[in-house]
Each structure stands twice: as C-alpha cells, then as structure tokens.
Amino acid sequence: MNIGEAARKLGVDPAALCPASAEPRFTEVWERMRQGPPCSACGQPSRTSGVVHDPVHGPRWLDRRRDCFLATPAILRQPLSQAVMNIREAAAEVGLRAVLHTDEDGWQDELRG
C-alpha cells in the first residue's frame, strides 16, 4: 500500500500531521527520524517517517513506529522474482557472490548468484 493508504488504514487525520516538503531529500527524512517524533497513529516513539500527499492539506509527515509500519506494508514496485534477478545481476557485475533467501516458497528456496 502507498503511504496515503497507510495513513487511512491507521486512521490518521492528515490535518493533524506536521507540514512537510513535497519531495523531501533523504537528509530531511533522516533528520526527522533522528528527532524521534511520536507515531502519527499511536503516539509512541516512531522509527520511520514519510510524506503523505493530502489533496486538501498538502504534503504532511507520516511517522510510524515499528508495529504500525509493519501493519501497513508497502507494495513492491516490481514482482519479487524481478527484484531478486536485479540483485543477482548487480552482485555479478561487481563480482560478489549473492545468496538470497525469499519467502515465496516458505523460505525454502536459496537463490545463488
């Protein structure tokens, strides 16, 4: 799910979130996470920060603690098999041996690059 869907699933009101840059740089996100803002959903110390783009309120920070983050998993932008193939190719290009374990088959497969 995308970050807007995550906010909706967690019942977070975008109006209650802090304003953010539309496209924050990594350093902005890292600095926010270092500040340890409270989770937008439960109020406990958060571990992740991202920006939700609300059509009414504009870009806002969505901070999530570990459990709230895990309850709202991101959708891979590509199938896992494609991601594994990309990692294997990148490892081969730089001369690394890659051993990748996936859960597609119940953590049974060991893919070697």
Residue 54, C-beta contacts closer than 8 angstroms, at least 6 positions apart: 4, 14, 60
CB 27 within 8 A of CB 58: no
Q: Is the pLDDT of residue 102 over 70?
A: no
Partnered with residue 59 across adjacent β-strands are: 53
Nearest to 86 by CA among 98, 75, 74: 98
Between 60 and 108, name the one with better pLDDT. Answer: 60
State whether 8 and 55 are in the same domain.
yes
Answer yes or no: is 85 within a domain: yes
Answer yes or no: is 63 within a domain: yes
State whether 43 and 87 are in the same domain.
no
Domain span including residue 39: 3-70
The residue type at 66: R
State whether 18 and 59 are in the same domain.
yes
State whether 59 and 94 are in the same domain.
no
Q: Is the pLDDT of residue 1 over 80?
A: no
State whether 106 and 64 are in the same domain.
no
Answer yes or no: is 75 within a domain: no
Number of domains, the chain: 2
pLDDT of residue 80: 76
Q: Where are the alpha helices (DSSP H) in 50-108?
A: 66-70, 80-93
Q: pLDDT tens digits, residue range 15-33?
A: 999 999 999 999 999 999 9
pLDDT of residue 68: 92
**Eight-class DSSP state of 109:** -
